[in-house]
């Protein structure tokens, strides 16, 4: 089976459109049709169906797609070797949530680039759902997120560090959940797709029913600013407010979370991802530095 045909299959499946795939691959739509027809002839079955205006991949197409991912990635690796591309000219593509990128990753990436100055690191920030899509389609190599439990069978997740989660507020206002009763706090929600939004609702939900004042903030920095400006409270990982806590600007009351609610910073990659020596070195450094951070935090407690 021609590798170009498999690339066409992957692109149409990802974009859900022959027209968009034609634009991206710079093939005519008739050429894409020939590619798909060749696949269907060889397999003696349909890989796509047209339902109304939508293109839907069939069960047979999905089975081939999982195999095509492996074959195309292997082919790309062979092309890299064939072209004699040096490891020092490589690129690492990383996806990360804002919270991980700002408060966990940046110092480690700086350290890695001091060791490998010719390595190009492309960092893509976004929402977890968008980044997982990019990981599944091979647009990024590695993904770093804060989340509870990993539940995608196509992905491998490594717990790097368990995050301390707690209620944050101004100064020394908070020492327990009881401090939230009968006080006119503004409750500041993390955005709806935030990995720990459910922790907020579970532990603070009972205090929200009678409250009229609440804000949904789109970033951690927005939450911190809202706490200061509006005398608000929220739930955040300790790592994101450590500096403000140490300066006395913000107080932090750690929550005793159940096992199912615990949040960790995780490194995730596709189960079929070929981990080059360079990626392995990067992952090794990440794990070492995260472990040092965890040890230092426990030592200071």
Quick check: 78 pLDDT over 90? Answer: no
For the chain, count helices (H), then strands (E): 11, 12
Residues 195 and 110 in one domain: no
Q: What's the pLDDT band for 87 if we cut at 50, 70, 90? A: very low
Residues 170 and 231 in one domain: yes
Per-residue pLDDT at 212? 57
Q: H-type helices in the chain, by residue range?
A: 3-15, 18-25, 29-43, 59-82, 98-100, 106-115, 128-136, 197-208, 220-230, 238-246, 277-300
Quick check: 300 pLDDT over 60? Answer: no
- Residue 215 tokens, joined: 């804000």
Per-residue pLDDT at 186? 78
Per-residue pLDDT at 272? 85
Residues 224 and 282 in one domain: no
Per-residue pLDDT at 127? 85
Query: What are 187-196's pLDDT values in tens digits?
Result: 787 776 677 7
Per-residue pLDDT at 82? 59
pTM above 0.75, yes or no: no
Beta bridge partners of 168: 234, 252
Per-residue pLDDT at 88? 47
Looking at 245, 260, 275, which one is the last position of a domain?
Answer: 260
Residues 73 and 22 in one domain: yes
Average predicted confidence (pLDDT) for the chain: 82
User: Could you give the 3-state DSSP secondary structure of residue 185?
Assistant: coil
Tell me, what CATH number does 49's domain have?
1.10.10.10
Average pLDDT score over residue span 42-63: 90
Q: What's the pLDDT band for 131 if we cut at 50, 70, 90? A: very high
Return the DSSP state at 86. -
Q: Domain range holding 202?
A: 165-260
Residues 281 and 208 in one domain: no
Quick check: 211 pLDDT over 60? Answer: no
Tell me, what CATH number does 246's domain have?
3.40.190.10
d(CA 200, CA 195): 10
7, 13, 14, 19 alpha-carbon torsion, rounded to 10°: 90
Average pLDDT score over residue span 274-301: 78
Residues 14 and 129 in one domain: no
Return the DSSP state at 213. -
d(CA 264, CA 165): 10
Residues 124 and 151 in one domain: yes
Between 294 and 109, the higher pLDDT residue: 109
Residues 157 and 203 in one domain: no
Residues 180 and 210 in one domain: yes
Residues 176 and 232 in one domain: yes
- Residue 181 tokens, joined: 């009763």
The count of structural domains within the chain is 3
Residues 282 and 140 in one domain: yes
Query: What are 225-270's pLDDT values in tens digits?
Result: 888 887 788 888 898 888 888 888 888 888 888 787 888 899 999 9
Quick check: 38 pLDDT over 90? Answer: yes
User: Could you give the 3-state DSSP secondary structure of residue 77?
Assistant: helix
Quick check: 89 pLDDT over 60? Answer: no
Average pLDDT score over residue span 40-61: 91
Residues 254 and 271 in one domain: no
Looking at 15, 50, 82, which one is the last position of a domain?
Answer: 82
Beta bridge partners of 188: 215
Per-residue pLDDT at 72? 84
Looking at 82, 97, 129, which one is the last position of a domain?
Answer: 82
Per-residue pLDDT at 140? 93
């Amino acid at each position: 089976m021609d590798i170009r045909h498999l690339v066409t299959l992957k692109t149409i499946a990802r974009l859900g459109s022959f027209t968009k795939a034609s634009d991206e691959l710079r093939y005519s739509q008739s050429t894409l049709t020939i590619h798909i027809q060749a696949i269907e002839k060889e397999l003696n079955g349909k890989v796509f169906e047209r339902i109304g205006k939508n293109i839907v991949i069939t069960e047979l197409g999905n089975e081939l797609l999982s195999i095509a991912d492996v074959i195309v990635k292997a082919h790309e690796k062979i092309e890299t070797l064939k072209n004699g591309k040096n490891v020092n000219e490589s690129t690492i593509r990383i996806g990360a949530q804002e919270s991980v990128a700002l408060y966990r990753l940046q110092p480690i990436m700086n350290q890695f680039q001091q060791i490998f100055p010719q390595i190009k690191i492309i960092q893509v920030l976004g929402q977890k759902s968008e980044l997982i899509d990019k990981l599944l389609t091979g647009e990024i190599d590695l993904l770093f997120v804060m989340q509870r439990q990993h539940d995608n069978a196509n992905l491998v997740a490594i717990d790097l560090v368990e995050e301390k989660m707690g209620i944050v507020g101004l100064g020394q206002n908070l020492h327990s959940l009881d401090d939230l009763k009968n006080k006119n706090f503004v409750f500041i929600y993390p955005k709806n797709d935030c990995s720990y939004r459910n922790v907020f609702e579970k532990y603070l939900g009972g205090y929200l029913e009678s409250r009229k004042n609440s804000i949904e903030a789109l970033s951690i920095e927005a939450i911190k600013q809202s706490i200061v400006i509006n005398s608000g409270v929220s739930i955040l990982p300790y790592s994101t407010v450590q500096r403000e806590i140490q300066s006395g600007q913000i107080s932090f009351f750690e929550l005793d979370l159940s096992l199912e609610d615990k949040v960790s910073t995780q490194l995730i990659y596709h189960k079929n991802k070929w981990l080059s020596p360079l990626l392995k070195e990067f992952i090794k450094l990440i794990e070492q530095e995260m472990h040092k951070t965890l040890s230092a935090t426990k030592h200071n407690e």
